[in-house]
Amino acid sequence: MRLIAFKIHRALTAMTAASLILGFTGTMSLPVHAQGAGGGEGGSQVPALPGLPNGNAPEGNAPDGAAPKGALPDGAAPDASGTASADDVAADPTEPAPTVEDMDQLFAELAEPTGETWRRAESDILRIWSRSGSSSMDLLYKRGEEALDAGDLPAAIGHLTALTDHAPDFAAGWHLRAVAYYLDGEFGPAIADLATTLKLEPRHFGALTQLGSMLEEVGDDQRALEAYRSSLKINPHQQEAVDAVSRIEQKLAGTDA
């Protein structure tokens, strides 16, 4: 009975929060101006989720064995406020941050249904998104990614929580932590982190596809279909999302095998 109640609660949490996220993205006109590599102003606002102010996941201590909340990588000196110093967060001078026009051009190329330029555009977008502008924050991201790849979810969540604490405008950090929370069965925090990701980067097709996958898992096929379609409007080359749309459309039409 406890397991059934948990599954029902998890499904309701995902559906309620997803309604707010999709209500926001559904009113979005594409293309919208994206942020720079490190996040910040320019993204639209996502409504706060119930019980989660500003769409952020609840705070708490890091799991055992993981980086404690607010911990910086070795060698990164905090300033008086406890955050990374100006030297740590300085952008790499060898690679200037892309302009809004640069990003719009990349997304325009990504949306092309044919040709090969979309592959380069997708690669460039993902590379830009992965840059926080700080070597210390990039190291935290790498540690979280490595822990996730190794299946050490508590460590991954710990490292990524430290990252989101010190680089709250870095959309990729929120998205990767959403993946970690999802794999750990924490749908509420995962949805909250997806909301923050989309607040910072409304064109984050990876976050929209993940949202669709979560909604499909809890049986909300209609909203899952909406999330997948929103993602494919931005990047139509995601085979996983293409297959999911076909699968759900057949199911809703009663023609699935």
211 in any annotated domain: yes
State the Rg of the chain over Cα.
18
The whole-angstrom distance between residue 222's C-alpha and the CA centroid of its chain comes to 21
207 in any annotated domain: yes
Residue 101 belongs to domain spanning: 2-47+59-72+89-253
Closest by Cα among 25, 8, 15 to 215 = 15
Q: Which residue has the tokens 């992965």?
A: 130
77 in any annotated domain: no
Q: Return the CATH number at 167.
A: 1.25.40.10
At 144, which amino acid appears?
A: G
At 150, which amino acid appears?
A: A
Helix 153-166 vs helix 171-183: crossing angle, to nearest 10: 160
Q: How many CB atoms lie within 10 A of CB 42?
A: 15
199 in any annotated domain: yes
Domain count, the chain: 1
Can you give the pLDDT at residue 50? 31
Can you give the pLDDT at residue 255? 75
Give Dmax over CA atoms of the chain in angstroms: 62
Structure tokens at 145: 């990614």
**Distance set, CA 45 to CA 13, 82, 160, 199 (Å):** 20, 27, 22, 5
Let me know how long the chain is: 257
Q: For each of the chain's 257 residues, which pLDDT tens digit applies? A: 444 444 444 544 555 555 546 654 554 433 333 343 444 433 333 333 333 333 333 344 444 444 444 455 554 444 333 333 333 333 444 567 888 999 999 999 999 998 889 999 999 999 999 999 999 999 999 999 999 999 999 999 999 999 999 999 999 999 999 999 999 999 999 999 999 999 999 999 999 999 999 999 999 999 999 999 999 999 999 999 999 999 999 999 987 65
Can you give the pLDDT at residue 192? 96
164 in any annotated domain: yes
78 in any annotated domain: no
Can you give the pLDDT at residue 257? 57
Can you give the pLDDT at residue 115? 85
Rounded Cα–Cα distance for residues 152 and 163 (Å): 17
Can you give the pLDDT at residue 60? 41
CB crowding 212-245: b at 16 or more within 10 Å, else e: bbbbbebebbebbbbbbbbbbbbbbbbeebeebb
Rounded Cα–Cα distance for residues 166 and 78 (Å): 10
Structure tokens at 254: 């009663």
80 in any annotated domain: no
52 in any annotated domain: no
Residues 6+ apart with CB under 8 A from 145: 156, 176
